[in-house]
Amino acid sequence: MNRFFKSTTFRVLLAVAVLLLCATVLATVTSKATSPLTNALSFLTSPLQEATSFIYSKFDGVTGGFISSKSYQERISQLEQQVADYQKQLVDYEKTKKQLSSYEEFLDVREKNPDFTWVYSTVIGRDSADLFGSFTINKGSLDGIKVNDAVIYSEYLVGVVTEVNPTSAVVRSISDPSVNVAAYEIRTGELGYVSSSYDTAVNGGCRLSGLDKSTGISKGGIVCTSGTGGIFPKDLIIGTVSAVEQSSTDLTSYATLNLAVDSKDIHDCFVITAFEE
């Protein structure tokens, strides 16, 4: 066998085979009208081209779902406007609900006192430096409100109007020392007047003063307006008796009261602009 590979015959056959192979390659290159280098590069880059085409086709399908930043911004603006509209509707709803609740609470008072003329108002400001709970409401002289008009919450007396502007008014609470209210205790019928001092007002209360030394008023008694003086309607609830004590300056007694409503806690109220004395 080794002799055959080394023989002249084998060498001739090998040379013929090489010539045939070269002729075949040349014929192939010539038929494609391209250079061998081009074919080689095409062979090497063909897989890369196919991979690129595949990736592009997939990415092109994904990009179809993207939205431009301008479209996103427009959508965000629309949603923000919708949220603002919903918030406004919610505020209007809460205002209406509170107003209806106040009307319901005032209904009994109105039925008992059909002569009342009143104006619904909301609190729009408070004086943080005022220890006695004065506040400003959103109705004024254009709504028929006047100085000395009584201010109530449901059937409870809150205060009195002391300053009026066209579209607002200032209300002083009954715990303010400058406010005096003629009143009586409903069980005994004893008359007196409700006033306050710095000490009682700071503690959220006031006094029913001018009582007899031997008063029959006791703890838990309910004190209402008597209507004397014509400023406050009769039978508005002021508060309840927490204690009865003897005055240290004269021969009278006084009752310490817990107010039925703290003016610092209310957000809306009614102003009684007219009533039959």
Output the tens digit of pLDDT for each of the chain's 277 residues.
556 556 666 666 666 566 656 655 555 555 444 555 455 545 555 665 665 666 556 555 545 555 567 777 777 878 877 787 777 777 767 767 666 666 666 677 777 788 889 899 999 999 888 888 899 999 999 999 999 999 999 889 999 999 999 999 999 999 888 899 999 999 999 999 998 876 666 666 788 998 988 889 999 999 999 998 888 999 999 999 999 988 877 788 899 999 988 888 888 899 999 998 7
Q: Are residues 98 and 197 in the same domain?
A: no
Domain boundary among 112, 134, 169: 112
Based on the domain organization, do 145 and 211 belong to the same domain? yes
Q: Of 167, 165, 117, nearest to 271 (Cα)?
A: 117
**Same-domain check for residues 92 and 203:** no
Domain of 24 in residue numbering reads as 2-63
3-state secondary structure of 84: helix
Q: Buried b / exposed e across 156-166, counting CB within 10 Å, b at 16+?
A: bbbbbbbebee
State whether 187 and 72 are in the same domain: no
Same domain, 51 and 99: no
Let me know whether 104 and 51 are in one domain: no
Please tell me whether residues 43 and 23 are part of one structural domain.
yes
| Listed residue (190, 188, 225) closest to 206, CA to CA | 225
Residues 87 and 23 in one domain: no
pTM equals 0.62
Cβ neighbours of 39 (radius 10 Å): 13
CATH code for the domain of 132: 2.40.10.340
Q: What pLDDT does residue 230 have?
A: 86
- If asked whether residues 139 and 191 sit together in one domain, one would say yes
Q: Are 129 and 108 in the same domain?
A: no
Quote the pLDDT of residue 26.
53
Residues 53 and 72 in one domain: no
Based on the domain organization, do 11 and 124 belong to the same domain?
Answer: no
Which two tokens mark 15?
């040379």
What is the structure's pLDDT at 71? 77
Give Cα separations from 98 to 45, 92, 102, 233, 269 (angstroms): 78, 10, 6, 25, 11
Q: Structural domain tally of the chain? A: 3
